Structure 1
Amino acid sequence: MDDSLHQAVTLLIAPGQVVEVRALTDQWIHSGYFDDHEELARQVAALDTDQSVEGIYVTLNEVNRALLSRRANRIKMRLGKKDATTSDADILRRRWFPIDIDPVRPSGVSSSDAEHELALTKAGAIAAWLKEMGFPDPVMADSGNGSHLLYRIDLPNDEMSSALVKRCLEVLDVMFSDRQVSVDTANFNAARIWKLYGTVSRKGDNTPDRPHRQSRVLSAPPAIETVGPDLLQHLAARLPAYPPESKEEKSGLVLSRWLSDHGIGVSSEKSYLGGTLYSLAECPFSSAHRDGAFAIQFPNGAIHAGCHHASCGGGQQRWQELRAKYEPGRAEQREQHERSWRRDRAVTRAEQEGRVAPPASSSPPPEHQVKAFEVLRNGDPLALMLAAFAQEHVGDEILARCMVLSMASQAVKNSDGLHVSVTGDSGKGKTHAFRKMLRQVPDRLKVKGTVSNKALYYMKDLAPRSVLMSDDTELSDSIQEILKSATSNFNEPITHTTVTKDLSCRVCRIPERCVWWIAKKEGTGDDQVMNRMLTCWIDESSDQDARVLAAKQVREMLDPDSFVEESDELRTCRAIWEVLHEQTIWVIIPYSKRIRFNAICNRRNPDMLYDLIKSHAALFFMQRQQKTSEDGTLCVYANEADFSAANDVFTLLNGTAGGQESKMTKKESDLLSLIHRADRSGLTSVSTELSKATTAGERITPGCWKSARPFHSRTGP
């Protein structure tokens, strides 16, 4: 037996699996069913010597065993009209995702050596691209005329699986097919037959220019990994499956003319969803590569542009970025138009409700928008935000992380929201930290300064996803009631019904998905409220006092010429939040069952950790595996980097930077530690500390000893 044939049978067919062998000639079909794979190989080897056989194929997917009785372990030559072959209904499960890459050539002939080599090269490029997406190494094969990639899958044989495989092949066709090589999109049906490697491909006559070749396996991983359905869905979502809503239709923009007018070369064009796809001669988004860029214009005029390289967006929409690059003036015009539109809409609302229209909001300049997208796609948005914060506030990094993740939670559809509470003595920088982080928030999404609880309900222009800051050092009962509602019903507005002077009812609302940052002094606040928030401590150490003083001394030495009101980093952060404000993301934590908690007595704390993971994933949504749900929701898969970042914050909040589990302030925690360490001779020092922190003493001494034990939260997948 030929070694390559034996290798192929072992790779493609599971032990005991029934498979159909089908050989094609100009006039006849020869076919048989086998569960004896040694006999299959022996009969195929003999049949392959027949020069009239153009190709020998097998069914890739799992066949109903009953079909063995049609032609059991034998090949019947010249099937008659009544002799059936395998249909899609005969397949039990899908086991392979097949990708056939063929050189473009006249029909009925073998490929030339140059054409053959082009197909092999293209297969390598496709495999490398899929690996960037997370696909494992495939079985790579030479079909005799082109190349094959085979990925192991495990899907039911149903309409959804068929549609998924078909869509994946269509995406690969769009991404990689050109005038010389094409990806066959017809290989999606479950009963598709596939070249049996180790046999000869004979198309046309065997000539020196276009020879017959033996098909063979080129490479296979030692252990073939299965590609999950989520990864296939991620591939299928790399390009729009239907035309998006169009603004270009009204403007009359013709993409082919626009590309030509701006000197953007087109290497090929093809039909796509009733529109036209243009493969660009060079990538306009990156100098790291030349190939991979494309632009699509749909029948409704809508345009989608991108690049298939993972480092360049992986097919994600980049049309506005491309247009801004070649029409820099238009980007500002577009921003002005959108600002005007928002302003007009707000004016109309104000007139309808009999109130004054809000001031117009400003959008970030185009250069900061471009930088924001670059950071979201390839950089570290969290590190940038922390660095921008550190330019204006010394220390308190964990508090800064909590505030960033709090804002990110507003973009997570399946989050209960993350709210932040920070405690510490007056003058230690709580409010200063909040105000410096608020500088990163777009103006329309924050309330400058503090407001009373009643004023919140009457602020008609308070937008959903706003950041609300409270510097109510005593946390009044009214504010605490609002906080309870906000933290319990994050995804719904908070309503308040009041009676006007004319004795009619008026319903006022605080919009949905607003997050709260609370600065309070030691020992104040309802435990129910604090139980629903990220509980941080401001750094009150003497080392921090020294660092703050040093920073103030440096700042006082600045002259007006060197003073910068807003750094580029700050403006880029603001542009990033503009992008995230437009997103509604459902975050999936695929490893959630593998997370272990050291203590679960407070049932809200696991929710806090999960929301921290989701918020971190939302910040990096352009760098995470994605899919689109049936209702159009963008779904993002959190990875272990998201867990690690969330766990670091969660652990510190239960240790040196906060009282997440115990709900103690820093002084209370220090006092409890002192009590634990003290013996009778040390009670004097305990009494001294109690006199310094009477509130802490009142909270601990009545019997909260056991309930205030520190919580340790090392978790791990």
Structure 2
Amino acid sequence: MIEGIRSAVKILAPGGGVVEVRALADGVTHSGYFDDYERLARAVEALDADPSVAGIYVTLNTPTPALLARRANRIKMRLSRKDATTADADIIRRRWFPIDIDPVRPSGVSSTDEEHDAALAAAERIAAYLAEQGFPAPLRADSGNGAHLLYRVDLPNNEAATALVKGALATLDALFSNEAVTVDTANHNAARIWKLYGTLSRKGDNTPERPHRRAKVLNAPEEIHVVPLDRLRHLAGLLPREEPSQPKKGSRRIDLAAWLTEHGIAVRSTRPYQGGTLYVLAECPFSPAHKDGAFAIQFSNGAIFAGCHHASCGGGAQRWPELRGMYEQKRTPEEKEAAPAPSPAPAPVDDEHRRRAREILQTGDPLAFLLDTFNKSHVGDRTVAECLVMSLASQSVENTNGLHVAISGNSGKGKSHACTTMLQQVPEEYRLAGTVSDKALYYNGSLQPGTVFLFDDVSLSDDLQEVLKAATANFRVSIQHQTVTTDRKLQICRIPERCVWWLAKVEDAGDDQVANRMLTVWIDDSLEQDERVLRYMKERETREDHSDGEDPDLVICREIWQTLKAERLHISIPYARSVQFSATTNRRNPGILFDLVKASALIHRFQREAYDGGIRANLDDFTAAARVYAAINGETGGQETKTTKNEAAALATVATMGWEQFTIKMLQEGLGLSYHQTYRILHGYTSRGTAYSGLLEKCPAVSFFDTMVTEDVEGYAMRRREHLFSFDCAVYRRWAHGGGVWLDGDRDGGPDNPGGPPDLSGSTGGCDIAAGLPQDSSTGCNDQAAQNDVELADLCTGRERRLPISTEVQQNIPTVPGTGSRVSESAGACETHNAGTDPGILVSRGGNLDQTPFSRPPTGIAGCNTLKRDVRRGPMPQEPLSGVLDHREFLRVKVELGRCDLCRTGKAAYRSREARTSLCEVRRFAEPEHEHR
């Protein structure tokens, strides 16, 4: 500790000389003067150990050497009134320009970690700005509660120097102070004392929420250069100190606040200034090269001054006439379309909501809270909500390409409601929903970095898809658009960086490059979900508590996102080398998995291990990401295959039915959709110039050829052409083998190898988290033991897929995902009420056309694989015939059952408790003529 204090004093007093040490305790002051820094360090060490000392300070600027005689190299405890300390007149020269950034908090207490981090982040923004202004690198330091920046100067101690420092601090205060942090403008006097680095800051009691911290130097340049005098003068003179001349008599007085709102110019903060009001703008309207720096002032006499402190924008010059001309000129239709409608004021946020949000972020489960709040208003669709949350979190991850979401599903099944419900959790200033053109996006001057764009059942034009591709491919930078105004002047418009796009459409995005950049998730449109939604609606309509107002938890959600959006963090995944993928044909998908891990870590940022400038993701983040990744590669998404919900259901139906050949009408009856919808699923279509690909283009297992179909119409043979589709099950399985991910537990790593893969000896080790759905033919696990517990069905032979459970008997899982059709989960695609009459299909046999009538077997013990014998179907009874064993009652078991109860020869593998019957593999999947009665 002594060495740290000695080093700090040598930095603060370059060249040596006398330094006053002043300690502030409970109502008393201890002070001494030192030119022996070794004795100073020992004296300070003793003071720092005294719990009554709140803080220890030193003089920054050079005092007259004569002051040493007051208390030479010693500390006098408890100064009396006659004991003097250093005054402004005692300073012979200024050597530091001090910037103290304090978080806003109650007086007499230490800062929270959140407040402390906000001050450090503000210091980085100020240092970056001053570097642009020509300032050399500063000394960066942590004061214990806030942040310090120290710039070396060489100024006399006179009124001009004091005014110069005061003006420079006033400029920084006006431009960078806000509701969270302030730049202390009181540090302009020459005898200012400063926190001595290496000592403890004790404001209030030391509590877990507001701990005492030790002040320290964060970064000191090897050589600290002096700030040029002209740069300091420029900074001090950026803002006008006197009121501009009053507006001409008779001219309309402009209310600046109303004018900014009317023209969609977002304001970051406001503050009193010179008797008027200073507005710090959220984004610079003069240049797309930077965001911060722009301001506007309305003085008490009504005069307005506007400008930007960046040198490229005039360095604080008056630009109000130019700003007014930019927004009051005749607007194009695109600009009028982009003009934001007045939005209602957001719900007030009180201290209790902020406290609750901080508590959830620091000690609770923020992801679960966000999802549970979502499910208060929207039933089900948990994976959809999780994708939207991860998308929002990705905006605050420094090293990410962003996560965007494409939601597909049938009309009226809740896509729009899911998106708008989640959008309510986003702070008002970060939302953009509705219909908007590509040019209007550029002209919308109110857009902020981190905005959410929601396109609800909007057909994306070619231009808008190009905008979307550009914005998603360049997530971290803004997208510029150059145009010419009506007076032929160049105008540069832009879409800010780190915006995420949510698309809610029945079809896919319509462009493969767009789809590849998005999380592809399906809305739940199953019959069971319909029933859950209906129950929720009935329950809501019976309420008598007048609970139609906004859920208070939404305010907490917005506070959570405000906190998470306040800072961007670099996130490291220490175990990234151990992550394995079952499919890597689409090279964007592994990146999406890693971005999901980072998004999970960002949501839990206050509960993760930190390093300089970032945090480390842990295994919980991998589990959360893998769960989402598995779901969107399975029953709730087509991430790897890029299929929509209806397309995946069509493929699952064909595979489950065991069809090697089928027609549109056959598939239509299996799905319960219209003929036109089914045709578009297979062939794709074009709408408003945008081509939407179908399964013939997406899935290599599906092809078609023309056939001739003969129908008997009133005794006449009618022949017509029809497409006969073929399906190759082996190709389908290879193409759609899922999106399994796992951590390779065989590699070296663990506590002794922090840079390598982690120790996976626990439950996570070695086992992948696979999609495990109809299009997934992986086993779901790497080790043999796990393979024995997981049996995935061969869809092409009609077996049900099974997942491990704790009992001996495994539970049936439906093989066909809900499609909004009449296909139930219990019977799959073979359910009887999907039956119908289909004219025979003429199949060429040696040049002859043949047609044979065919009737579908009853839903009994014969499985769907019997349909592979012929693709033609006939009527089918609604329920199994009397005495027929229902195949749905039979479950595979792992215990010894003995012989089959029917054939008495095969080894029993299935058991029905209801029928008290055991069957072998052969009898379980018997031909229709061998049905067991």
Q: TM-score of the superposition, structure 2-length normalised?
A: 0.42
Are the counterparts in 2 of residues 473 and 524 from structure 1 also a CA contact under 8 Å? no
Q: Using the TM superposition, name which of 538-547 and 666-675 deviates more.
A: 666-675
Aligned to 2:610: 626
1:643 and 2:622 equivalent?
yes
For residues 118-517 of structure 1, the aligned pairs below 5 Å read 242-243=142-143, 244-245=147-148, 247=182, 249-250=184-185, 272-273=196-197, 277-278=201-202, 281=205, 283=207, 285=209, 293-294=211-212, 339-341=269-271, 344-346=279-281, 348=296, 353-354=323-324, 355=327, 364-517=349-502
Q: Is the 8 Å Cα contact of residues 381 and 619 (structure 1) preserved in structure 2? A: yes
* Equivalent AA in structure 2 for residue 583 of structure 1: E
* Higher RCO by CA contacts (8 Å cutoff, separation 6 or greater): 1
Give me the whole-angstrom Cα distance separating, in 1, the residues matched to 2:350 and 2:657: 60
Using the alignment, how far apart are the partners of 1:415 and 1:681 within structure 2? 44
Deviation of the 1:498 alpha carbon: 2.3
Unaligned runs of 5+ in 1: 1-172, 181-236, 253-269, 286-291, 300-336, 629-633
Deviation at 1:475, TM superposition (A): 2.3
Paired residue for 1:615?
599
Contact (CA 8 Å) 1:497, 1:508: kept in 2 or not? yes
CA contact (8 A) 1:647 1:714 kept: yes
Tell me the alpha carbon deviations over residues 681-709 of structure 1, each in whole angstroms, 9 at most, x when there is no partner: 98363364583422211122356325852
Structure label with greater radius of gyration: 2
* Aligned equivalent of 2:651: 672
**Deviation (angstroms), 1:503:** 3.4
Unaligned stretches of 5+ residues in structure 2: 1-44, 53-116, 121-140, 149-180, 188-193, 218-266, 272-276, 282-294, 297-305, 308-319, 329-338, 684-693, 702-730, 745-933
**Does the CA contact (< 8 Å) of 2:597 and 2:621 recur in 1?**
yes
Change (3 A) 1:709 1:502: same
The structure 2 residue matched to 1:686, chosen from 633, 646, 667, is 667
Q: Which amino acid aligns with 1:364?
A: V
CA contact (8 A) 1:276 1:298 kept: no
Residues 505 and 689 of structure 1: CA distance in aligned 2, closer, same or farther (over 3 Å): farther
Q: Deviations over 1:456-502 (max 9, x none)?
A: 11111100111111124322222211111111000011112223333
In structure 2, how many angstroms separate the alpha carbons of the residues matched to 1:434 and 1:627?
35
Find the counterpart in structure 1 of residue 546 from structure 2. Answer: 562
Distance in 1 (CA, whole Å) between partners of 2:270 and 2:409 is 44
Among candidates 735, 739, 747, match of residue 712 of structure 1? 739
Instruction: Tell me if the contact between 2:629 and 2:739 (Cα under 8 Å) persists in the aligned partners.
Output: no
Q: Give deviations 1:319-362, integer Å, cap 9, x for gaps.
A: xxxxxxxxxxxxxxxxxx97435982237379553338987975
Corresponding position of 1:586: 570
Residue equivalent to 2:255: none
Report if aligned partners of 1:655, 1:710 keep a CA contact under 8 Å in 2: no
Q: In 1, are the aligned partners of 2:472 and 2:517 still within 8 Å (CA)? A: yes
Residue by residue over 1:493-529, the C-alpha shift from the partner in whole angstroms, topping out at 9 and shown as x without a partner, is 1112223333333221000000000111125511211
Which residue is equivalent to 2:750? none
Q: Tell me, in whole angstroms, the C-alpha distance in 2 between the residues paired with 1:680 and 1:590.
A: 47
Q: Which of 545, 557, 560 in structure 2 is aligned with 1:573?
A: 557
Among all aligned residue pairs of Structure 1 and Structure 2, give the percentage whose two residues are the same amino acid. Answer: 38
Structure 1 position 401, deviation (Å): 0.4
Q: Kindly indicate which of the two structures has a greater share of residues assigned to helix.
A: 1
* Residue identity matched to 2:700: C
Q: C-alpha distance in 2, partners of 1:523/1:298? A: 54
Using the alignment, how far apart are the partners of 1:343 and 1:414 within structure 2?
Answer: 35
| Number of the residue aligned with 1:700 | 695
Deviations 1:148-180 (A, max 9, x none): xxxxxxxxxxxxxxxxxxxxxxxxx99x97769
**Deviating more after overlay: 414-423 vs 544-553:** 544-553
**Structure 1 letter corresponding to 2:615:** V
CA distance in 2, matches of 1:438, 1:177: 52
1:534 partner SS: strand
Deviation at 1:448, TM superposition (A): 4.0
SS of equivalent to 1:345 = strand
Alpha-carbon offset, residue 566 of structure 1: 2.1
* CA distance, structure 2, for counterparts of residue 388 and residue 678 of structure 1: 40
**Would the aligned equivalents of 1:375 and 1:381 in 2 still touch at CA under 8 Å?**
yes
Q: CA deviation at 1:276?
A: 5.4
The structure 1 residue matched to 2:520, chosen from 527, 535, 540, is 535
CA distance in structure 1 between the aligned counterparts of 2:183 and 2:468, rounded to whole angstroms: 44
User: Match of 1:508, SS?
Assistant: strand
Contact 2:503/2:509 (8 A) holds in 1: no
How far has the Cα of 1:454 moved from its partner? 1.8
Matched pairs, number: 423
Write the distance in 1 (CA, Å) between the matches of 2:186 and 2:356: 27
Rounded Cα–Cα distance in structure 2 between residues aligned with 1:386 and 1:715: 25
